[in-house]
Amino acid sequence: MHKKIFQSSCLTSFLVLVTTIALIMGALFHFFEEQIQKELENEAGYLSQAVEKTGIHFFDGFEKQANRVTLVDADGKVLFDSDAEVEKLDNHADREEINAAMKNGTGKSIRYSQTLMEKTVNYAVRLSDGSILRVSTTQYTVAAVLLGMLQPILVVLAIVLALTLALSLRVSKAIIEPINGLDLEFPENNTAYEELTPLLRKLAEQNEIIEEQLADAHKKQVEFHLITENMSEGFLVIDKDANVLTYNSSALELFGITPPANGNVLAFCRARDFRDTVSKALAGDKAENTMMREERCYSMIANPVFEKEEVIGAVIIILDITERENRETLRREFTANVSHELKTPLTSISGFAELMKEGDVSPDTVVDFSASIYEEAQRLITLVTDIIKISELDGKSMPFQSETVDLYELSEEIISRLNGQAEKRNITLNLIGGKTEITGVRKILDEMFYNLMDNAIKYNKENGTVDVIINKMESGVTVLVRDTGIGIPAAHQSRVFERFYRVDKSHSKQVGGTGLGLAIVKHGAIYHHAETKLESIEGKGTTVAVRFGKDSFVRGE
């Protein structure tokens, strides 16, 4: 801008100066030309009067003057000429000024020399006898004057040029300085040029828009960060060369990388499945795959990102599906176990029935077989009932009604149901504690404590004891079911809560176990947000504690 203003200013100043000089010179020349014309007219006037009075004799002894004087008769023949010999001059009738004077009384003309350096200004006047008196003067032309004054003109032009340059430099600096000093952060605070006000206002408006857009973008970035950071799934965005652009901390944790993470995503994980997924997405196809990493199972979903039908990167989501896979395995195992558990009594029932169908069984044996069929059928019923119970807890589809339950009163009621069973083996049942109310689902709590007390009796020794202790504390409520039974070997203790897990299958079967009792306890506790703890010494006894914390509550309340 500075350069442009400087150039324009220089050019303008120079042009103005040159034009001014030219115009002044033109005006001066015009003025002098008019003066010469008047001078010629005056001189012609005096001379014509003199010639009218004295005739051609007026020129006798006429000395050469500054201007040339010529007398021509009415036919154009030269009678007198102050600058040349008359004989040598041709007829002047065709001279423009003389011809005009012959016709109109006066005539004038300007004739230029061949070099255009000189011009002759002529003025002619017709006398009363028809002869023509002409006065001429020779002057330098403008071109000649300019040529003659070339040196001083060039000097003047050089001075003018230097002055123009200096002034233009100052002017352009003076114009630019306030513009350079503009505060663009706060455009409306500037008072540099009034003409700039609309521009500065527009700038201020745009500044505001940009600020809003920046704030908006920042907000979106924060939102995006919050969303991705709170995702348990790993989230990665890569460019077309597989370089990491964005990631969340879950992704880094998963790959065991400490932030900041940059570079190629394939350096994060060299697993073949991961590499294949990334390559497929970058080739433009949606890719889904699973991979194992440090004993955990991950599912990967990679989607290509397109811009104008060209892949510019990919978005990769990595989910930890270990739990899901485990659940799936458990479900498969459960189905297999259920089928197996159901098949065993059914096979027995079918066997007894087949023998009875043959008809060659004694009446006493029929009674025994019927008793066995009844027993197996009862087992089946118990098994199916337990399966239904655990399915209800598992599926969470049943909306259980929660209520205030007094655990002491509930335990008393369960004990009364189990008394007969305990008495058969002379086992003493003790209930220790007092009224203890919690909010829970009575039906589930009943099943939980019934199973615990039932186990405590089933796996007890003759004349043993079962203590049910209800402990109310600041931090919550704990129910302990303690027996003096056979105990559980240490190797099995961590597994007895699994479905169908039994330490001694035949013993469990003998005492009417299904292998689902403790699984029901575990799921019931989970439902109530309670904790279960098992302590057991083989041969001495077992204690199972269910602890309801302060924040234990029932879903669906």
Residues that bind ligand ADP in the complex, under the rule CB under 6 A: 451, 455-456, 459, 483, 485-488, 496, 501-504, 508, 513-519, 542
CB nearer to ligand ADP: pick between 479 and 518: 518
C-alpha closest to that of 315 among 249, 261, 246, 253: 246
Distance CA 525, CA 532 (A): 7
CB nearer to ligand ADP: pick between 375 and 437: 375
In the complex, minimum distance from the CB of residue 500 to ligand ADP, in angstroms, rounded to a whole number: 8
CB nearer to ligand ADP: pick between 320 and 538: 538
Distance CA 91, CA 108 (A): 17
CB nearer to ligand ADP: pick between 373 and 496: 496
CB nearer to ligand ADP: pick between 447 and 483: 483
In the complex, minimum distance from the CB of residue 246 to ligand ADP, in angstroms, rounded to a whole number: 49
C-alpha closest to that of 250 among 319, 164, 176, 166: 319
Distance CA 30, CA 41 (A): 17
CB nearer to ligand ADP: pick between 97 and 341: 341
CA angle 9, 14, 16 (to 5 degrees): 95
CB nearer to ligand ADP: pick between 290 and 430: 430
CB nearer to ligand ADP: pick between 151 and 339: 339
* 8 A C-beta contact, residue 496 and residue 518: yes
In the complex, minimum distance from the CB of residue 506 to ligand ADP, in angstroms, rounded to a whole number: 10
Quick check: helix, strand or coil at residue 360? coil
Cis bond before residue 187 (omega within 30° of 0) = no
**Helix axis angle, 322-358 relative to 363-395, nearest 10°?**
160
Q: How many CB atoms lie within 10 A of CB 40?
A: 21
In the complex, minimum distance from the CB of residue 294 to ligand ADP, in angstroms, rounded to a whole number: 32
C-alpha closest to that of 476 among 553, 556, 415, 555: 553
- Distance in Å from the first CA to the final CA of the chain: 76
CB nearer to ligand ADP: pick between 345 and 487: 487
In the complex, minimum distance from the CB of residue 410 to ligand ADP, in angstroms, rounded to a whole number: 19
In the complex, minimum distance from the CB of residue 478 to ligand ADP, in angstroms, rounded to a whole number: 17
Q: Report phi then psi at 68, rounded to 5.
A: -85, 140
C-alpha closest to that of 480 among 404, 400, 402, 541: 541
In the complex, minimum distance from the CB of residue 293 to ligand ADP, in angstroms, rounded to a whole number: 34
In the complex, minimum distance from the CB of residue 413 to ligand ADP, in angstroms, rounded to a whole number: 20
Distance CA 453, CA 263 (A): 61
Label residues 182-210 b or e (16+ Cβ within 10 Å = b): beeeebeebeeeeebeeebeebbeeeeee
In the complex, minimum distance from the CB of residue 542 to ligand ADP, in angstroms, rounded to a whole number: 4
CB nearer to ligand ADP: pick between 478 and 542: 542
Give Cβ neighbours of residue 8 (< 8 Å, ≥ 6 apart).
Answer: none
In the complex, minimum distance from the CB of residue 489 to ligand ADP, in angstroms, rounded to a whole number: 9
Considering only the C-alpha atoms of the chain, give the largest distance between any 2 of them, rounded to a whole number of Å.
197
Please give the single-letter amino acid code of residue 94.
Answer: D
